[in-house]
Chain A
Amino acid sequence: MPHIQLQTGLPGIRGLFAFRLDTARPLSQLAQVLLHDSGTLSRADRELIATYVSSLNDCYYCQTCHGALAAEHLEGDAALVEQVKRDPEKAPISGKLRALLAIAGKVQRGGKNVTSEDIERARSQGATDREIHDTVLIAAAFCMYNRYVDGLATWAPRDDEEGYRQRAATVAANGYMRLIEDMQAASAARE
């Protein structure tokens, strides 16, 4: 049961967004810029970073949602997502993404764990400053989202692969702002 009274039927962060719409906006905007808007890292790569950090933080809802999104951007390759969660160093991904996931894993434990060797490794694999910046911020942001979702003990559907897949397809198509725009419109209609 959630620690606070949330609208029933809305899982994970969606129930929290409905609870407080004004913080939901910048939280959604941040996800939109980091994960969906155009960038030199593919959406799949960015969702894999989010999934990996959520998995390290043991947040069921976030790792399942973003894992489904990563798979959606990888033409349904859920097996690759599982490999990255289990051991990014051995997963069949680019050397650059492997180096960025190593940085993300360090950030999950704490910002000071990132060493200049980690940064050098990413640079030698072709990562730009902007890509390193975004990797650190995606990892840091999921240390927030994961704590927000689990710290208030939100509900999440279990064993509902198809439900998460459908939701992922919607977010992949529309981005992260649609949910909050719909909630704002519904709230305005009630007033």
Chain B
Amino acid sequence: MVFRPETAEPLNELADILLRGPNTLAPGERELIATLVSSRNDCFFCQRVHGAVAAYHLGNNEQLVLDVESDPEHAAVPDKMKALLAIAGKVQRGGKEVTSEDIARARECGASDMEIHDTVLIAAAFCMFNRYVDGLGTWAPTDPDVYRERAPITAREGYANSIHRILAEQPIT
């Protein structure tokens, strides 16, 4: 990111608006969407960063984050979240996978057009972030405590000042 500040700025702004900006979806819910998509894309770094921030917002419930990653339909989240996570999972595979049935299910559970829009854009954005991180072969810390300790700071201060800075020091492999 620091390698190219001109692109880091809109990337961080996008992450901050989508994950931390005013929204009818709670920050923890939006971080769960980001974590699920990063997990499906097998992106260790994004999965750990956003999984830790999601757990932080959910009262340090790390088990719930793991449950959502392994099987969102059976995780202890509201039906609306299950429907939105199902849409996010489809977007991860490709935009055309999302059906009008998926949308109707989310609406029946009370999701608004804006919530459906934001779910699709968060999922799409993480298909970018994940590829950016892994496509350049970036290094990521393996110690879960690094992510756990950083999560409250990221939640408070935002992505422009976050652990994403790690990417700065990366040479291209």
A residues lining the B interface (CB < 8 Å):
3-5, 16, 19-20, 22-23, 25-27, 29-30, 33-34, 37, 57-59, 103, 106-107, 110-112, 114, 116, 119, 129-130, 132-134, 136-137, 139-141, 143-153
Contacts and interface: CB of A to CB of B under 8 A. Distances in A.
Interface stretch (B62-70, B134-142, B148-156): B134-142
Nearest to B120: A151
A137 B10 contact: no
B138 to A, nearest CB: 9
A143 B21 contact: no
A114 B131 CA distance: 10
20 contacts: A3-B98, A19-B113, A20-B121, A23-B14, A23-B121, A25-B13, A26-B14, A29-B13, A30-B10, A57-B94, A107-B131, A111-B130, A112-B134, A133-B3, A133-B136, A137-B7, A137-B132, A141-B128, A147-B94, A151-B91
A29 B137 CA distance: 25
B43 A111 contact: yes
Interface string B1-39: 001101101110110011001000000000000000000
From DSSP, what is the main secondary structure of chain B's interface residues?
Answer: helix
Contacts of B128: 140-141, 143-144
A3 B133 CA distance: 30
Interface in B98-148: 98, 100, 103, 113-114, 116-118, 120-121, 123-125, 127-137
8 smallest beta-carbon distances between A and B, as pairs: A111-B134, A150-B95, A144-B128, A140-B131, A147-B124, A151-B95, A111-B135, A26-B10
A125 to B, nearest CB: 15
A151 B134 contact: no
What's the dominant secondary structure at chain A's contact region? helix
B48 to A, nearest CB: 15
A111 B132 contact: yes
Interface residues of B, number: 48
B10 A27 contact: yes
A133 B96 contact: no
Contacts of A16: 117
Contact of A111 (B11, B95, B100, B133): B133
A3 B87 CA distance: 12
Q: Which of A111, A116, A129 has the most CB of B within 10 A?
A: A111
A136 B98 contact: no
B162 interface: no
Contact of B13 (A26, A132, A145): A26
Given A20-B114, A23-B18, 16 more contacts: A3-B100, A20-B118, A23-B17, A23-B121, A26-B13, A33-B6, A57-B95, A111-B43, A111-B134, A136-B135, A140-B127, A144-B127, A147-B95, A150-B96, A151-B91, A151-B120
A140 B14 CA distance: 15
Contacts of B98: 3, 150-153
Contact of B131 (A22, A130, A139): A139
A13 B51 CA distance: 29
A114 B127 contact: no
A136 B127 contact: no
B14 A148 contact: no
B58 to A, nearest CB: 24
A22 B117 CA distance: 13
Nearest to B3: A133
